[in-house]
């Protein structure tokens, strides 16, 4: 049976704090890397003069969501200037295209990545000897999704997903009290959840997504307001000039063309625990869970990895 921690139970809260604080403050980023990235791998990166099309191709080929960008002309001794994500590239394109001119805008995929720098997160570089609490703070309150880690002469990219995988592997050190917190203690209900109809085109969905700074994905709903799919910037990976006109297809057709099938979005309900949510992220490689009322079917919100780290950060 799931245990819900009473908000006014000071002893329970203190127990959570002590267990989690001890674990996080005694753990270094090097410990995280040895657990989730034990094999040394050359850092994937691109020059600032590479194009959006090249970046989207790399993101799909390597099944990644972001790539570090180094300053043009520093390939021998690279000077990293930002980390560009699929969402950053979508936002850049959205500033240049419109539905009326979309047919003639495929050339915009040739824009250099340097144009996306102002839209990307501030570059953060940490040392492998730093404590994990720095990561937790960045991945929560600072709304950072990925950082570069300096290891001797090498750089490694560490993402929110990497840290979730680490906490999932060592959940016995997190403490059962915090792992048993349920959805309503992790994220607030959103009465103004932004969605899009399945009748919309992919271009309309992407432009609506890019226009809202508060979201990273859109739920796709049918005529009964039921969740049938989702779309995010990661669905743009692999977009090139030859496939540009696919953006004019209905969003469901675009997703099927891109992925070979349409996969149902992952959901959770009120009684899902933090432990179960982390398991879903790790085992299903999910980036969000749509919070659905178990009885009414109402869509109440969305749980992201930032929400998980907000819970951790509030108890250390």
DSSP letter at 201? B
* 202 C-beta neighbours (distance < 10 Å), count: 23
Residue from 218, 229, 289, 225 nearest 259 by CA: 229
pTM: 0.91
d(CA 126, CA 130): 7
* 301 C-beta neighbours (distance < 10 Å), count: 20
Would you state the pLDDT for residue 18? 76
Would you state the pLDDT for residue 93? 97
Angle at 62 between CA 82 and CA 40, to 5 degrees: 75
Would you state the pLDDT for residue 12? 47
d(CA 135, CA 127): 11
CA distances from residue 174 to 6, 61, 190, 238 in whole angstroms, order as listed:
18, 35, 28, 38
Would you state the pLDDT for residue 75? 66
Residue from 200, 234, 231 nearest 99 by CA: 200
Q: Which tokens belong to 242? A: 């030859």
DSSP letter at 28? B
d(CA 282, CA 263): 17
Query: How would you write the pLDDT of the chain (316 residues) with one tens digit per residue?
Result: 333 333 444 444 445 557 788 899 899 999 999 999 988 788 999 999 999 999 999 999 999 999 999 998 766 788 999 999 999 999 999 999 989 889 999 999 999 999 999 999 999 999 999 999 999 999 999 999 999 999 887 899 999 999 999 999 999 999 888 999 999 999 998 888 999 999 999 999 999 999 999 999 999 999 999 999 999 999 999 999 999 999 999 999 999 999 999 989 999 999 999 999 999 999 999 999 999 998 999 999 999 999 999 999 998 8
Q: What's the first-to-final CA gap in the chain, in angstroms?
A: 26
**CB of 312 within 8 A of CB of 306?**
no
Reported as a single tens digit per residue, the pLDDT across 238-266 is 999 999 999 999 999 999 999 999 989 99
d(CA 238, CA 61): 8
Residue from 280, 303, 306, 309 nearest 187 by CA: 303
């Amino acid at each position: 049976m799931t245990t819900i921690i009473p908000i006014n139970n000071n002893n329970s809260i203190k127990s959570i704090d002590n267990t989690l604080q001890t674990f996080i403050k005694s753990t270094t980023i090097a410990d995280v890397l040895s657990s989730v990235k034990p094999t040394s791998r050359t850092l994937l990166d691109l020059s600032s003069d590479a194009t959006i099309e090249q970046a989207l191709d790399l993101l799909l080929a390597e099944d990644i969501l972001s790539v570090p960008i180094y300053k043009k002309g520093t390939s021998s001794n690279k000077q990293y200037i930002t980390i560009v994500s699929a969402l950053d590239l979508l936002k850049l394109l959205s500033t240049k295209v419109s539905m009326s001119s979309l047919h003639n805008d495929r050339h915009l995929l040739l824009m250099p990545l340097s144009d996306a720098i102002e839209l990307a997160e501030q570059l953060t570089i940490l040392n492998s000897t730093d404590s994990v609490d720095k990561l937790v703070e960045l991945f929560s309150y600072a709304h950072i999704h990925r950082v570069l880690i300096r290891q001797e002469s090498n750089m490694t990219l560490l993402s929110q997903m990497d840290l979730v995988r680490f906490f999932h592997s060592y959940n016995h050190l997190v403490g059962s009290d915090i792992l048993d917190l349920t959805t309503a203690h992790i994220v607030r209900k959103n009465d103004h959840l932004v969605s899009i109809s399945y009748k919309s085109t992919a271009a309309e969905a992407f432009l609506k997504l890019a226009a809202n700074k508060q979201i990273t994905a859109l739920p796709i709903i049918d005529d009964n307001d039921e969740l049938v799919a989702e779309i995010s910037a990661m669905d743009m990976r692999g977009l090139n000039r030859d496939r540009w006109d696919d953006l004019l297809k209905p969003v469901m057709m675009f997703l099927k063309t891109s992925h070979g099938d349409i996969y149902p979005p992952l959901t959770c309900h009120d009684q899902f625990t933090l432990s179960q949510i982390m398991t879903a992220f790790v085992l299903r490689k999910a980036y969000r869970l749509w919070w659905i009322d178990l009885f009414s079917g109402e869509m109440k919100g969305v749980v992201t990895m930032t929400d998980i780290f907000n819970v951790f950060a509030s108890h250390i």
